Structure 1
Amino acid sequence: MVLSSSSILSILVVLLLSPFVVSFTIQDRFLQCLSTTSHSSYPFSTAMYTPIDNSSFATVLLSTAQNLRYTLPSVPKPDFIFTPFNESDIQAAVVCCKQLGIHFRVRSGGHDYEAVSYVSEIESPFIIIDLAKLRSIDVDIEDSSAWVQAGATNGELYYRIAEKSKTHGFAAGLCTSLGIGGHITGGAYGPMMRKYGLGADNVIDARIIDAQGRILDRQAMGEELFWAIRGGGGGSFGIITAWKVKLVPVPENVTVFTVRKTLEQGATKLLYRWQQVADKLDEDLFIRVIIQTAGNKGNRTISTSYNALFLGDANRLLKVMEEGFPELGLTPKDCIETTWLGSVLYIGGYPSTTPPEVLLQAKNILKSYFKAKSDFVQEPIPETGLEGIWMRFLKEDSPLMIWNPFGGMMSKISESETPFPHRKGDLFMIHYVTNWQNASGNVGRHIKWMRGLYKYMKPYVSKNPREAYVNYRDLDLGMNRNTRANFKKARVWGAKYYKDNFYRLALVKSMVDPENIFRHEQSIPPLPLHMR
């Protein structure tokens, strides 16, 4: 049979447009299912963003994306983004995705380092369920608690607490644009962890939508699932829609400071001393160290900044420092007394004149192209080891390490209390980052440098397993390659994040999501049948 030129042209048009036809079909079927499953009365199309509407789609997709590496044109994009207005719409979305076989990712804040909440490297097509419109916060000072929806940020929660009380706070992360939904699923450490533990340690209740589309609170979900979601990582067990968190007491006045030392000012010996004392200081005191390069190309050096929060006034802080860490040479001029909310802005890196209302803007000011990793240290790194770090740092454009001290309450909580196992025995955690500001940067060179530094650090960090923090997700550690996640292979990276808690997490997964509806490149896999 010979086709006419008009027939050939028609076939070519269909083939060229086929991606859009497929995309439309998925969206159309999803919308039709929503209309019969959800009880909401608004037009669901107002909550949908597709590539056809380029400007709105791109704006929503990029709104919370922190790692710009995953926004490049070559990276897989979702067929559409669904931004539900309420829990019932999320229920309907889960039911419809399951019924229609649509793979989905769930995003609350977008700070996940490898973008597993809004990029799928292993499955296509996929969609995003974005929780940005669920951001209500209900603070109850009398009960010392707050219900906060998953789309709200740390900064919004902190502001709303301070709005009602000068003597209450919440122990979670110092980055104010973090989405609270995903943040707590990984543990949520911050500058009050030595006093009160992690954000996950201070969760009273939660609301989660499970694989059957049910809304469950703590009582309905049971203690095993409630255990798993407080540190077991996001995207494995269901969609967290809200947390009920326990507020903690803070003084009306706290003290912050930053003291900077370069190599020429004895930074190496001082950092070695910090390692010996930081986890043993008064638990009201948190001193992290920010390590960067400084100076011009021909005259570069290493800068170490001792950045601190003290839950008390400057006079008591000076006494604590004189007894525990006099080598830093802290003076009254270094100390800034402020409110707890003022300390949030200070440690978050905002200029001193910034009004606290900036926290309500929920803007991510940390966007860049980057690669990051993490480690936990159990013995002080010797000065020779530090010198090797400096040598490598001076070869990279914009390297960064942040050392966060443990001890205090972190040493008093059992490794199995939550899935977050990094407790007693860990002196501090290392957060590694290398970043660059444009897409045309030599990505391969930067990532190779990061991997080289990580390899160099092996003798100085935790072993068997070499531990890592799940909220600093790192796909170099291993990943699920397809929908049928392999427990044996996943255990390699799972042990690094969760140690002995990984098996229990997989057991919970087997009970609540045996079909593996909630999945991504490093989601918890169900246990094989013979291991349950």
Structure 2
Amino acid sequence: MHTHNGRFSYSEAPKPLAIVTALNESHVQATILCAKKNGIQIRIRSGGHDSEGLSYISDVPFVILDMFPLNSIDVDIENESAWVQAGATIGQVYYQIAKKSNVHAFPAGVCPTLGAGGHISGGGYGNLMRKYGISVDNVIDAKIVDVNGNILDRKSMGDDLFWAIRGGGGASFGVILSWKIKLVSVTPKVTVFKVKKTLEEGAIDLVYKWQLVATKLPEDIFLRVVHEVVNVTQKGNTKKTVQVTFIALFLGKTETLLPLVNKQFPELGLKQSDCNEIPWVNSTLYWYNAPIGTPIEALLDVPKEPLSSSFKTMSDYVKKPIPKDAIKSILDLLNQYDGHLKMEWNPYGGKMYEISSSETPFPHRAGNLFLIEYLTNWGEVGVEAKNHYLNISRSFFEFMTPFVSKTPREAFLNYRDIGVGGNTPSNVTSIDIAKSYGTKYFNRNFERLVLVKSKVDHENFFRYEQKTSSYRHNGHAWEKAHKGDEGVK
């Protein structure tokens, strides 16, 4: 239960000494104090979507602190806000907002079973980002249990810690109990569409043009591109090819959307028949590939058993358009993987270019054209199958090197990837080890995160196999030495 990656559900996977199911806030406090007293590490799980399993497995003695029973959601439409406990899923958040209003929403992810605790603390990326930014840009308060068992809110935790947990990974600094989120405005009906094109139907030209226009479209439009291998049948013959899906959310009606898209991206050939006007809450299901008309109660569904399929995620940021010939090479290579690997390209522009890269720990703002998520899936079990598909993931990632960000090659914390660097969970003292991958997630914000960590958890109780601030140092000496560095406050 609450393990969404079969890669970590095998019988030999490391087991916790205990699983503590937190029914109230005092259970969280007691777990921290007890584990600290006995020298036991804790792993904090809300939705169980950690793509590297770091929230529920470890190679050292540990206990799991399950947050999913703490899932209350208190929506205040009058003040356009809501308190959301860490164990609530994003789907539950969407559902409860919709029960109170059809013109309010919250910017967060596509998968409704994501846990609010981890999803938001890692940044929270979704299709409202060009209009309103990401989840952490819309957090106005929080409650956290610190290393000493104290429950802190925004005022009592102070500006530095409140800054750090909004995108720096809350589990590095304590246990998130709840978030106070700011609701945003949406139209009573939004427009969604999916336009699918294969390589044979000119997908390469369309993908190239998408790079040039997606960030320049009005901020009410979010137009994602999904690349995947499919089987197509022509004249009785079936063959593999790459299909590119352009999937969009528009805050408005079809009659307004069509001229906007057809003016700047006429090659897409968008037609009225491609479009559907539905309430925003229904669009969250559409983006999760549910059929039009699916009851919104589906947002409340949580898998009762661990998923049998396994997956690996990786990420990249692209700052310059990828040439057409390179796109062809990329898609030709993708076509060799029998549908086990796909890419999602997520456009920037709009609000994402207006927010400073140091406003929160999430640094990936102006200068980026789009974010790539690589997702490798497989159903086979066993070490041999796992290694085979992980090698596929790594080789494709290496192939993409010339086309993505450099020095550092940036990565998104929510798409956790141990491949960008890692450390053992015990007594890591070298700043260089953590900096080698911390800068990929946080760029210059890494340094400020380290300083916050040294102040709020100087004995490094909250740690795991990949943590950007998982070491001790003399905070005062470091601060003095880096006093002039940008990003240190």
**TM-score range relative to shorter protein:** over 0.9
Choose from 282, 289, 310 the match for 1:342: 282
1:194–1:286 CA contact under 8 A, matched in 2? yes
Show the counterpart of 1:311.
251
- Hey, what's the Cα distance between the residues in 2 that align with 1:172 and 1:366? 23
Offset at 1:482?
3.5
> Is 1:452 aligned to residue 395 of structure 2?
yes
Offset at 1:301?
0.5
What is the SS of the residue equivalent to 1:289? strand
Written as runs of structure 1 = structure 2, the 5 A alignment for 1:92-491 is: 92-121=30-59, 123=60, 125-295=61-231, 299-363=239-303, 368-397=309-338, 398-440=340-382, 442-485=385-428, 486-491=430-435
Offset at 1:438?
2.5
Written as runs of structure 1 = structure 2, the 5 A alignment for 1:60-75 is: 63-75=1-13
What is the SS of the residue equivalent to 2:297? helix
- Hey, what's the Cα distance between the residues in 2 that align with 1:320 and 1:527? 53
Show the counterpart of 2:446.
502
Deviations 1:300-337 (A, max 9, x none): 11000001100000000001102221111100000000
What is the SS of the residue equivalent to 1:522? coil
2:215–2:350 CA contact under 8 A, matched in 1? yes
Percent identical residues: 50
- Hey, what's the Cα distance between the residues in 2 that align with 1:204 and 1:482? 31
Show the counterpart of 2:485.
none
Which structure 2 residue ranges, 5 or more long, are not aligned? 480-489
Larger-Rg structure: 1
Show the counterpart of 2:473.
528
TM-score after normalising by structure 2: 0.93
Pair 1:367–1:280, CA change in 2 (3 A)? farther
- Hey, what's the Cα distance between the residues in 1 that align with 2:371 and 2:113? 21
Offset at 1:131?
0.3
1:396–1:446 CA contact under 8 A, matched in 2? no
The one-letter amino acid of 1:369's match is S
1:507–1:526 CA contact under 8 A, matched in 2? no
Offset at 1:367?
6.1
2:424–2:464 CA contact under 8 A, matched in 1? no
Greater helix content? 1
Deviations 1:440-492 (A, max 9, x none): 46222211111111111111001111100011111111111241123211101
Offset at 1:366?
7.2
Offset at 1:86?
0.5
- Hey, what's the Cα distance between the residues in 2 that align with 1:177 and 1:202? 20
The one-letter amino acid of 2:251's match is L
2:84–2:93 CA contact under 8 A, matched in 1? yes
Offset at 1:394?
1.9
The one-letter amino acid of 2:69's match is K
1:95–1:213 CA contact under 8 A, matched in 2? yes
- Hey, what's the Cα distance between the residues in 1 that align with 2:452 and 2:201? 52
What is the SS of the residue equivalent to 2:171? coil
2:425–2:470 CA contact under 8 A, matched in 1? no
Which structure 1 residue ranges, 5 or more long, are not aligned? 1-62
The one-letter amino acid of 2:281's match is L
Offset at 1:74?
2.1
1:144–1:246 CA contact under 8 A, matched in 2? yes
Deviations 1:45-85 (A, max 9, x none): xxxxxxxxxxxxxxxxxx12111111111221112110010
Offset at 1:272?
0.3
Pair 1:225–1:73, CA change in 2 (3 A)? same
Deviating more after overlay: 351-360 vs 129-138: 351-360
Offset at 1:152?
0.2
What is the SS of the residue equivalent to 1:471? coil
Show the counterpart of 2:486.
none
Offset at 1:528?
1.8
The one-letter amino acid of 2:409's match is R
- Hey, what's the Cα distance between the residues in 1 that align with 2:48 and 2:200? 39
2:164–2:170 CA contact under 8 A, matched in 1? no
Deviations 1:125-173 (A, max 9, x none): 2110000110000000000000000000000000000000011000111
The one-letter amino acid of 1:382's match is P
- Hey, what's the Cα distance between the residues in 2 that align with 1:226 and 1:491? 22
2:425–2:463 CA contact under 8 A, matched in 1? no
The one-letter amino acid of 1:467's match is E
Choose from 51, 62, 82 the match for 2:20: 82
Give the CA RMSD over aligned residues.
Answer: 1.4
1:65–1:367 CA contact under 8 A, matched in 2? no
Offset at 1:371?
1.6
Pair 1:140–1:367, CA change in 2 (3 A)? farther
Pair 1:490–1:508, CA change in 2 (3 A)? same
Offset at 1:501?
0.4
TM-score after normalising by structure 1: 0.86
- Hey, what's the Cα distance between the residues in 1 that align with 2:441 and 2:252? 34
What is the SS of the residue equivalent to 2:75? strand
